Amino acid sequence: MSTVKTAELVAIDERRLLRRLDDLAQRGALPGGGIFRALYTPAWTSAMELVTTWLKEGQLLTRRDAVGNVWGRIEGSRGGRAIVTGSHIDTVRGGGALDGALGLVAGIEAVTSLWERFGRPTRTLECVAICEEEGSRFDTNFWGARAIADRIEPNEAERTRDAAGTSLADAMRSVGLDPANAVQAVRRDIDVFVELHIEQGPVLEDHGPRLGVVTTITGTIHQEIVVRGQPDHAGAMAMSRRHDALVGASAMTLAIAELATRMGDPAVATVGTIVVEPAQVNVVPGIARFTVDARHPDAPRRTELITQIGDACKAAARERGLVVEIRTLRDRPPVTLSPRVADVLRRACRAAGLDPRDMASGAGHDAQVLAAAANTGMLFVPSIGGRSHCPEEATAAEDVVLGTRALASALRELAYQQ
């Protein structure tokens, strides 16, 4: 095998790639549209069985690890730390057919094509179907990647429960996994992890080109904000004397959106849930609870945004005689991906005939978690209309193929070398 000094475009089986994406989309398809493959459910199990079949058809050494990640491996002629690609198999409720699935199916296609066309790599080459990323059943985002990166907390599986009260540990047992063995999923032998993904935003579609190299994954903070007022009779209490928690929360929600808008792209802030108590049609709400998801890829600017949100909520509470409490649920700082892997991806894009756009990801990804265990890189293809996490999520077939070819070219440079 000659040394690969620059990326070369690798041929793939386009029909097989697109057919497999369609086949995977049937696992967890909802009658009203969209897909729901939640961790350790029958739809998830069916999807994992399908992926396992594909890996075996490609003659990859296949195994399931201690949390349910499924791996396909080609042993390198010189061993060493592994080159890995893949993405997550789970979805949000009513999600689309490409979030996570594209990186997984494209990874299988890229690794299989390299194996078929060039034989054994010098570096060990693997594809992984990561069991969970979305947190759509259990509040445990990045469960699969965190297991690989040794980021699972003690007794986390026993403590964490879904909406029906089922523990994560019991859900693991239901699919033949032992939660006591979760630590065995840790990998300390991965050199590079590369993830192909849809952008989930409008930048590539609006401004081009058709490929993007991710340099930074945005920092995310989730907060719960509780607004306490005074419950009163909806008919008897005068408007001028009310301490309406929902009115206060509404003012805060508008202020939060305005703050992110004023800061400008790529700052975003979203109020995703809100509940009131006592939640009766004829009672002034005494309590309103809502969540905030705030993101920015620049750490100081993210801190500034979070501070401004807190100040605005406190000001709105003072104006209306309310009490506000702010609690941080989750805080993930921005992650800078590997410059070395980004260079490889840029060469692969140029081999495909495009100078890619360097960009930040506004969404979270497995790559940001695996950055604690490996050199990570991400490649984006456009999302039509910037849509994602919905049934309308789509990418043009030619861009799916283009991204997969670029991924295969990058993996060839990384794994087929002297």
The reply to whether 5 falls in a domain is no
pLDDT at 342: 98
Place of tokens 């992926």: 51
132 and 246 belong to one structural domain: no
Neighbours of 185 (CB within 10 A): 22
pLDDT bin (cut points 50, 70, 90) of residue 2 is very low
Averaged pLDDT of the chain: 96
For residue 171, pLDDT over 60 is answered with yes
For residue 206, pLDDT over 80 is answered with yes
What is the arithmetic mean of pLDDT over 197-217?
97
What is the arithmetic mean of pLDDT over 47-74?
98
Place of tokens 């500034």: 304
Asked whether the whole model's pTM tops 0.85, one would answer: yes
What is the CATH classification number for the domain harbouring 282? Answer: 3.30.70.360
The reply to whether 291 falls in a domain is yes
Provide the 8-state DSSP code for 29: B
Distances (CA, A) of 401 to 15, 193, 268: 10, 20, 31
pLDDT bin (cut points 50, 70, 90) of residue 6 is low
Q: Of the candidates 366, 408, 403, which has an alpha carbon nearest to the alpha carbon of residue 382?
A: 403
Position 251: which residue type?
A: A
The reply to whether 320 falls in a domain is yes
Distances (CA, A) of 140 to 132, 136, 235, 254, 291: 9, 9, 43, 29, 17
Higher pLDDT, 87 or 11: 87
- Rounded CA-CA distance 326/223 in Å is 7
238 and 325 belong to one structural domain: yes
252 and 316 belong to one structural domain: yes
φ/ψ of residue 197, rounded to 5: -155, 155
151 CB contacts (<8 Å, ≥6 apart)?
142, 145, 369, 372
Strands 82-88 and 125-130: parallel
210 and 230 belong to one structural domain: no
231 and 212 belong to one structural domain: no
- Rounded CA-CA distance 91/28 in Å is 9
Domain count, the chain: 2
18 and 114 belong to one structural domain: yes
Write out pLDDT tens, residues 62-121.
999 999 999 999 999 998 899 999 999 999 999 999 999 999 999 999 999 999 999 999
pLDDT at 9: 84
What is the CATH classification number for the domain harbouring 380? Answer: 3.40.630.10
The reply to whether 315 falls in a domain is yes
Supply 38's token pair.
Answer: 């939640």
Task: Looking at 36-132, list the stretches that DSSP marks H as alpha helix, in order from N- to C-terminal side.
Answer: 42-57, 101-118
pLDDT bin (cut points 50, 70, 90) of residue 8 is confident
For residue 4, pLDDT over 60 is answered with no
Write out pLDDT tens, residues 296-335.
999 999 999 999 999 999 999 999 999 999 999 999 999 9
379 and 315 belong to one structural domain: no
240 and 133 belong to one structural domain: no
199 and 155 belong to one structural domain: yes
- Rounded CA-CA distance 46/51 in Å is 9
Q: In what order do the strands lie in the sheet with 219-228?
A: 268-277, 287-296, 219-228, 323-332
Contact, 21 vs 31, CB < 8 A? no
pLDDT bin (cut points 50, 70, 90) of residue 42 is very high
Neighbours of 19 (CB within 10 A): 12
The domain of 254 spans 219-332
pLDDT at 1: 35
Supply 89's token pair.
Answer: 């198999």
Percent of the chain scoring above 90 in pLDDT: 96
pLDDT at 418: 63
